[in-house]
Structure 1
Amino acid sequence: MSKALTCFKAYDIRGELNSQLDEEVAYRIGYAFATELAAKTVVVGGDVRLTSAPLKLALTAGLIDGGAKVTDIGMAGTEEIYFATKHLGVDGGIEVTASHNPINYNGMKLVKAQSVPISGDTGLNAIKEAAEKLSDAFVAERMAFYTNDQTPDPDAFFNGKAHIDSAKLVASDQYVQKDCMEAYVEHMLSYVNLANFTPLKIVVNAGNGAAGKALDAIEARLQQNGVPLEFVKVHHQPDGTFPNGIPNPLLPENRADTAEAVVNNNADFGIAWDGDFDRCFLFDAKGQFIEGYYIVGLLAQAFLDKEPAAKIIYDPRLCWNTEDIVSNAGGIPIKCKTGHAFIKERMRKEDAVYGGEMSAHHYFRDFAYCDSGMIPWLLVAELVCTRQQSLEKMVEARIAAFPSSGEINSKLKDADAALARVTETYLPLAKAHEDIDGLGLEFGNWRFNLRKSNTEPVIRLNVESKADIPLMEQKTAELLAMIRDE
């Protein structure tokens, strides 16, 4: 190949359509995945983006030519691929998704057998190199064999027209389509006791992404079992044009529709998902967004109620609330570097029942140590019912005990210089110091974590205190002034 593939990132594949990622690149990735992993069976799926189906077909052609038999589970969220990879006992799985990225992007998330993640040093770099080494002539010949349009129109591809003829994939006898939804729903509901549920009204916002289909299947099973959960659905139908904007509830400007629906419908709480629903975001009965940090604590409590002395993994950006809950419940808190590859690896090593990040990624031992956007809200709903306490009340108590700044990003000319300024000033005063992920310093009744971005000149600050909001706010302002003093 004449140029390097720039769509390969540290943990997944993401790129701008036609310039970094197109059907030819997808073919290369599929071929390289199959050959590098010696994968004989692979499951594939794709989110609702118009370009996901065309990319998935090209990926499948590459997988087949690389020696793999492919099972296509259709339009699916990333966690459905995680589930199907383990459930079907295949050698690997690939989800075509750009999650919350802009409309002119797409990408892929890749796992090995048993849904073990593939990142840079665990196979992704090798797949990249193998994909680049494929000769242009070979790729052109094979793409021509599978294509139904000898002069592909990039604009047609961008609008969802596949150039790969799916009939030729079927004719290869190496391609089957399979629905795993029934088994997936059964597994999701295994995390809760349906008898524990009392009547709840829940707003659900799929953002026109892939979550709506899965939620409908879960709802149908709940109704069959007489579970009294009522769902108010917002932007529910999958639509790859995203008429209500790219689903990314992490952005404050994308929360209003969910918050308003909660208030207007007098709901008990609200849920919003990103495009491939591997993250879920929660809102209380007042429509207030709940920071992911406090959800980690709630989920840790939910598991420790059922499995005392279990191990809980959490990231070091904000941690006192989680440590307090886990320790008081008799569990074992284990701090781990931020990032799904690190969390999953540590969970496997420790056989931890649950791992959580403040970014709304939640990982579960019985879900192949993978993240899910459906399991968290089910556990929270059960907790609301069993404790007979609103989500708002449960979270209010924890925020009061351990108020936090949330993650504050600062784009700088020199992030290293800012980190050096803060280290020089605060390290001599600290009572405890850690470098698990960035700079973590404790000062008795307050602490902070400061870490650089790996991909941009940005530095990320998190501050928390022990039951002292003014102190937390004062120290946050103090640190930000120093960080931004360039």
Structure 2
Amino acid sequence: MEKLTCFKAYDIRGKLGEELNDDIAYRIGRAYAEYLKPKTVVLGSDVRLTSESLKLSLAKGLQDAGTDVIDIGMTGTEEVYFATSHLKADGGIEVTASHNPINYNGMKLIREGSRPISGDTGLRIIQQLAEENRFPLSSAVAGRYTHQNVLADYIEHVLSYVNTENFKPLKLVINSGNGAAGHVVDAIEAQFKAKSVPVELIKVHHEPDGHFPNGIPNPLLPECRSDTANAVRENGADMGIAFDGDFDRCFLFDEHGEFIEGYYIVGLLAEAFLQKQPGAKIIHDPRLSWNTVDIVTRAGGVPVMSKTGHAFIKERMRTEEAIYGGEMSAHHYFRDFAYCDSGMIPWLLVAELLCVKGQTLGQLVKHRIAAYPSSGEINIKLNDMDSAINKVKQYYLDLAGEVDYTDGITFEFVDWRFNLRLSNTESVVRLNVESRADVMLMQQKTAEILELLS
């Protein structure tokens, strides 16, 4: 039996050719249909040069199993999330490699209600079926294949999160990274113009291009931020927005072109939601948390910690009926968006906040960054990651810190805390450190832990 290495913890990603090709995509379609027995599945694909072909092979696998396919075209992942719930389909698949290298592609799978399919919610079963490749004869009645455009309904939903009458004149830089975001940005801009909303959009790397002439869009990497930052400064913009390839994450830059860590945006959005719904629950991940917990508690909300990762966050949000959830990695989740993550809703909410509060983004986050300075996520490749983490654990256990094992190890002391965890998606350990209003302490402790790991 052939082992399919493209199946990861949360999704499917692999090198084109041996790890992922049209034949494997067909088998994944058959396996998905065999596992879920869906009547209708929504398909979308990003701008990568192989995405359309892989999507059509997926569709053929689904159709041969008797499943109807609704192809919504070139889309971001969240458009598949939206369409699956909006059309009351039995599942959805987005063909995307997001921010992976150009020789990769992949898929993100969901079931009815836009619920995620990940390692412990069916992905391993689909993998096993695809590897065995022993499917029943093709259905006597093949599933239908239709195209449907849900863009107008999706845009209407996304804009429902803000009151456009609150908007004052704003100049925003939006960098789509030659990925899938451009058509959505254009549609939002058209609605702004139709409603006379005084927002000017300056578009950078706007056209979709699977060759990625300006590099793979991944603003989480510092080397991928300069084009957005420069455009903010050159145009005197109020804010910069940059997306990854399938725009399920958005990254924000202040009026000076300075990158704002996603951690502090979680706090901003949590406060905004709590002003609209006092007492609501807010989900956050354990990597960095003090700022979020402080803001949510002060605003009368209930902070709830969840293990890192979209499948865990979405499940916890449903359990708690939380209105909003945020991860420091720039994933933002919304109850009314089928508990899914969106890259379009956050920047609209922050833009509205700038207008309502009459402050710049830099002003809105400055005192929070000073109150809880953080290291940002540091990724370390190690030969023996488990023993390295254990070494750190034993060192700090002796110092009598408060320890939590929700996700990796988290130690909390009076004035500082850290989280150290194995990545769910890469062969690295991830370190995050924060302190209470003491940049030097945060830096010292970061260096101390890195020394222990070396």
Question: Shorter-chain TM-score: which interval?
Answer: over 0.9
Map of 2:414 onto structure 1: 444
Once the two structures are superposed, the pairs formed by residues 127-276 of structure 1 within 5 Å of their partners are 127-135=126-134, 174-276=144-246
2: CA distance between counterparts of 1:452 and 1:172? Answer: 44
Query: Equivalent residues in 2 for 1:48-87 (5 A)?
Result: 48-87=47-86
SS at match of 2:257: coil
Cα distance in 1 for partners of 2:400, 2:143 equals 64
Residue-by-residue CA offset, 1:217-259 (whole Å, 9 max, x unaligned): 1111111111111000000011111111111111111111000
The change in CA–CA distance for 1:414 and 1:172 in structure 2 (over 3 A counts) is closer
Cross-structure match for 2:102:
103
> Given residue 218 of structure 1, which amino acid in structure 2 is its aligned partner?
I
Q: Distance in 1 between matches of 2:236 and 2:424?
A: 42
CA offset at residue 20 of structure 1? 0.8
What CA deviation, in whole Å up to 9, does each residue of 1:412-449 have, x standing for no partner?
A: 12222221221122123244221111111111011111
Q: 1:116 is aligned with what amino acid?
A: R
Check the 8 A contact 2:266/2:327 in 1, yes or no.
yes
In the alignment, structure 2 segments of 5+ residues that lack a partner are: none
Judged with a 3 Å threshold, the aligned counterparts in structure 2 of structure 1 residues 429 and 398 are, in CA distance, closer, same or farther, namely same
8 Å Cα contact 2:67-2:142 kept in structure 1? no
- Structure 1: state its 5+ residue gaps: 143-170
Q: 1:231 to 1:32 in 2, by over 3 A?
A: same
Which deviations, in whole Å up to 9, do the C-alpha atoms of 1:53-74 show, x marking residues without a partner?
A: 0011111011111111110000
- In structure 2, C-alpha distance between the alignment counterparts of 1:457 and 1:61, rounded to whole Å: 34
Mapped to 2, the partners of 1:45 and 1:201 lie a distance apart of: 31
Aligned partners of 1:260 and 1:457: how far apart in 2? 33
- For 2:3 and 2:401, the matched residues in 1 are separated by 47
Q: How many residues align?
A: 453
Q: Is the 1:429–1:443 Cα contact (8 Å) retained in structure 2?
A: no
CA 1:456–1:48: 2 relative to 1, 3 Å: closer
Matches of 1:70 and 1:457, distance apart in 2 = 36
Which residue number corresponds to residue 28 of structure 2? 29
Say whether residues 1:333 and 2:303 are aligned partners. Answer: yes
Superposed CA deviations along residues 263-282 of structure 1, whole A, max 9, x for unmatched, are 00000010000000000000
Hey, what does 1:162 align to over in structure 2? none
Q: Is the 8 A contact 2:69 2:143 kept in 1?
A: no
TM-score, length of structure 2 as denominator length = 0.97
The aligned amino acid for 1:75 is M
**Which residue does the alignment assign to 1:389?**
359
What's the CA shift string for 1:180-225, capped at 9, x where partnerless? 0000000001101111111100000000000011111111111111
Aligned to 2:11: 12
CA contact (8 A) 2:158 2:345 kept: yes
RMSD over aligned CA atoms reads 1.6
Which of 2-11 and 208-217 deviates more? 2-11
Structure 1 CA distance for aligned equivalents of residues 142 and 135 of structure 2: 23
Measure the CA separation in 2 of the matches of 1:172 and 1:72.
Answer: 16
* Structure 1 stretch displaced more, 422-431 or 187-196: 422-431
Q: Determine helix, strand or coil for the equivalent of 1:176.
A: strand
Alignment match, 2:442: 472
Is 2:323 the counterpart of 1:323?
no
8 Å Cα contact 1:56-1:96 kept in structure 2: yes
Query: Which AA in structure 2 matches 1:269?
Result: M
- 1:147 matched residue in structure 2: none
The within-5 A match list for 1:390-409 is 390-409=360-379
Secondary structure, aligned partner of 1:333: strand
Q: Paired residue for 1:309, among 262, 279, 286?
A: 279
Cα displacement (A) at 1:134? 2.4
Change (3 A) 1:237 1:89: same
2:200 and 2:107 map into 1 onto residues whose CA distance is 34
Q: Secondary structure at the match of 1:188?
A: helix
2:247 is matched with which residue?
A: 277
2:431 to 435, 458, 461: 461
Which amino acid is the alignment partner of residue 41 of structure 2? V
